[in-house]
Structure 1
């Protein structure tokens, strides 16, 4: 059974979930069907790494991740993790990276279903025209995360 805990962050209240020794969720509102509210050692470690990220002291995460999704979603989420801190890619870049060059819409769908926000940086995906588009955590949070990374990239 997934264990979860809630934390207040600069981007609102986040749910951090763990199951079988891996982080399974960092989300705003997606509660699992069944869960146990418990602050585990791994959830605390994730919280600490997120605090370091928000403070500009961490540019990557060192946590075991186990997002639940289809094979295609897993490929997309893996490609998202290759986007360097402070950089962005468009949906087509990700589609090409997962050998599905005409699958921009499918990539967008997988991006929107990412259960581990921030750690799997779906906020780093923007429209081909350079505009910010869609984000499960809200556009204001997407903008905040990109600006945060941009500011700390130069330090």
Structure 2
């Protein structure tokens, strides 16, 4: 099945969504000039809508069928990324522990960098053990922006709640 594409504008720059009418395969930051693509399948439009909701602070969890090619190890790492809650971060070492292989920290980092589903598979929520922002295919400024966006939204969602 041939991949379709849809380019959308976001607060962190253009994103290129790729997929079929059955699954989303990639969401990548792009610097390419705007291209006119044929009418995309409904699923790509739904993905664009969910991303717009995320950027508007209205969505914390994506509900899309996704599929990106990779080894069993990569699939395991990417699956674990989807379990990092909105507004929270973990270290690469914690991620390696979560997949049951603490010695795989470098391979986990490499796999995290090969994630083709930016934002939807939230690799931006993985940081260095010292709390520093390290490595992000979209650039560290985007990683910082996404984390601040999620924390701000998390804060605003709890503002006004009284204890007890």
TM-score w.r.t. structure 1 length? 0.93
Matches within 5 A, 1:109-124: 109-124=110-125
Aligned length: 151
TM superposition shift of 1:19: 2.8
2:24 aligned with 1:5: no
Instruction: Name stretches of at least 5 consecutive residues in structure 1 with no aligned partner.
Output: none
Q: CA RMSD in A?
A: 1.6
Q: Hey, what's the Cα distance between the residues in 2 that align with 1:98 and 1:74?
A: 11
TM superposition shift of 1:38: 4.0
Query: Equivalent residue for 2:126?
Result: 125
Report the CA distance shift for 1:54/1:104 in structure 2 as closer, same or farther (over 3 A).
Answer: same
Rg bigger for which structure?
2
Q: Whose strand fraction is larger, Structure 1's or Structure 2's? A: 1
TM-score w.r.t. structure 2 length? 0.88
Matches within 5 A, 1:72-83: 72-83=73-84
Matches within 5 A, 1:1-155: 1-19=2-20, 21-29=22-30, 37-154=38-155, 155=157
Instruction: Name stretches of at least 5 consecutive residues in structure 2 with no aligned partner.
Output: 158-164
